[in-house]
Amino acid sequence: MADIYQALADSTRRIILDELNKREGQTLFELLGRLAMAHDITSSRQAVSQHLAVLEEVGLVRTRRQGRTKLHWFDGTPLKKVVTRWPIPRGKPKR
């Protein structure tokens, strides 16, 4: 069982979130194309599916079927847990 920190600890998974954030409702095929063309990431379909499963488990990715095709969305809601866990000071950092 992954938590959000483990999910975000992998650079490929962070790039997957970057790319999913660019357009809502992407297929695995579209995402693989974006990873290969824009980031030179040529991980296998299975590897990217595994990454998506981890991200979905912690709620950073949501999926829905349109007809017989599975589409993927980025959902930043779980990030609230991260930014509210510790206080973030306003203004200049204290020395």
Partner 1 sequence: MADTQRKTKTMRINVTSVVVDDQRKALKFYTELLGFQKKTDVPVGDAAWLTVVSPEAPDGVELLLEPSAHPAVKPFRAALVEDGIPWTSFAVDNCRAEYEKLCAKGVHFLQPPVDHDTVVTAVLDDTCGNLIQICEEKRK
Whose CA is closest to 47, among 10, 18, 19, 76? 10
Q: Residue from 18, 30, 57, 75 that binds partner 1 (CB under 8 A)?
A: 30
Site stretch for partner 1 (CB under 8 A), options 5-13, 56-64, 66-74, 85-93: 66-74
Among 40, 44, 66, 80, indicate the residue that binds partner 1 (CB under 8 A).
66
The residues pairing with 71 across neighbouring beta strands, listed in sequence order, are: 64
Residues at the contact surface with partner 1, assessed by CB under 8 A: 23, 26-30, 33-34, 37-38, 45, 66-71
